[in-house]
Amino acid sequence: MTRRVLVLGGTAEARELASRLADDGRDVTTSLAGRTRHPRLPAGEVRSGGFGGVDGLAAALGEVDVLVDATHPFAATMTGHAAAAAARTGTPLIVLRRPGWTAGPGDRWTRVGSLADAARAIPVGARVLLATGRQGVEAFHDVDAWFLVRAIEAPDVLPARAELVLARGPFALDDERALLDRYGITLVVAKDSGGATEAKLVAARERGLPVVLVDRPPLPPGVDVATSVDDVLALL
Ligand code: NAP
């Protein structure tokens, strides 16, 4: 039985995985980047802060039987480091990636490849719910639109015309409806994160609002991908 599991975390499914591994009697450590001042803590051991690149992570894998990368789908640097360090040290790696979202009837989505492309897709004068997280908000700085920026912690810079809402998802559908209505939102900009934060997309669909959705960065080639916590447990 695999005993020592290192989970690269920072997501709800990483917390669920840690909890189920701990319940199974496995020795689980979750690694957090240390960006959020008051993170929701998982079961088991927790370490915080970067490893110091691929070399640092490879060194840390000496004490580990299996590495699970359960970081956010947009944490591409960490995922790349995990693949490189696992390959170098011969450590088995499972990448846990929840599925992305799929447009349904009534959705008015424009998919783009980056935050910069999302900024270019915003019509002049739009009232935008910017729900892409704290990092990367600077890409929208010079856009001629008004922004409701929602993030867990304040971004370093805000667009020129913006209001900040500090909040941690997932959000209830009724709350998303109320937010769109209260601020007269005409466009939603989000990452294709997948998972439980889709209420904003449902509320946008109900109102016939367009959504600019940023596509996920690609995974490193050749990694084993699980799409749910159950899949990871089966693979282990
Ligand atoms: P990133 O750009 O892929 O990683 C940048 C650096 O941060 C990495 O090279 C690593 O530093 C450190 N790092 C990232 N995740 C780490 C982890 N779990 N444990 C230890 N070090 C970590 O990452 P990011 O997009 O800034 O995301 C940071 C964290 O926030 C991740 O844990 C991710 O799951 C979570 N998160 C990200 C998003 C998003 O939209 N990007 C959304 C929600 C949650 P070293 O090179 O020094 O090891």
pLDDT at 1: 59
Q: Chain-centre distance of CA 160, in angstroms?
A: 25
In the sheet that holds 127-131, the strands lie side by side as 108-112, 210-214, 187-191, 127-131, 146-151, 162-166
| Structure-token match 């990871």, residue found | 232
Query: 68 C-alpha to center of ligand 1: Å?
Result: 14
For residue 37, the model assigns a pLDDT of 85
Q: State in Å: Cα 200 to ligand 1 middle.
A: 24
Sequential pLDDT tens for the chain (236 residues):
568 999 999 999 999 999 999 999 999 999 999 988 888 999 999 999 999 999 999 999 998 999 999 999 999 999 999 999 999 999 999 999 999 999 999 999 999 999 999 999 999 999 999 999 999 999 999 999 999 999 999 999 999 999 999 999 889 999 999 999 999 999 999 999 998 889 999 999 999 999 999 999 999 999 999 999 999 999 99
Least Cα distance to 96 among 106, 82, 113 occurs for 82
The string of DSSP codes covering the chain is ---EEEEE-SSHHHHHHHHHHHHTT-EEEEEE-S-SSSPPPPSSEEEES--SHHHHHHHHGGG-SEEEE---TT-HHHHHHHHHHHHHHT--EEEE--------TT-EEEEESSHHHHHHTSPTT-EEEEES-STTGGGGTT-SSEEEEEESS--S---SSEEEEE--S---HHHHHHHHHHTT--EEEEE---STTTHHHHHHHHTT-EEEEEPPPPPPTT-EEESSHHHHHHH-
Provide the residue ranges of all domains of the chain, joining segments of one domain with +.
Answer: 4-98+218-235, 108-214
Give the global pTM.
0.93
Nearest CA to ligand 1 atom 46: 53
Residue list, ligand 1 pocket, CB within 6 Å: 8-11, 31-33, 35, 50-53, 56-57, 71-72, 74-78, 81, 133, 135, 191
- The reply to whether CATH 3.30.70 applies to domain 108-214 is no
| Residue among 13, 16, 71, 219 whose CB has most ligand 1 atoms within 8 A, to mutate | 71
Beta strands 4-8 and 66-69 are: parallel
Topology alike, domains 4-98+218-235 and 108-214 = yes
Task: Pick from 28, 54, 72, 132 the residue to mutate for probing ligand 1's pocket: most ligand atoms within 8 Å of its CB.
Answer: 72
CATH class of the domain defined by 4-98+218-235: alpha beta
For ligand 1, atom 32, the nearest C-alpha belongs to: 10
Identity of the amino acid at 93: L
Residues 6+ apart with CB under 8 A from 95: 68, 69, 79, 82, 83, 219, 223, 224, 225, 226
- What are the structure tokens assigned to 228, written together? 């749910």
pLDDT at 2: 63
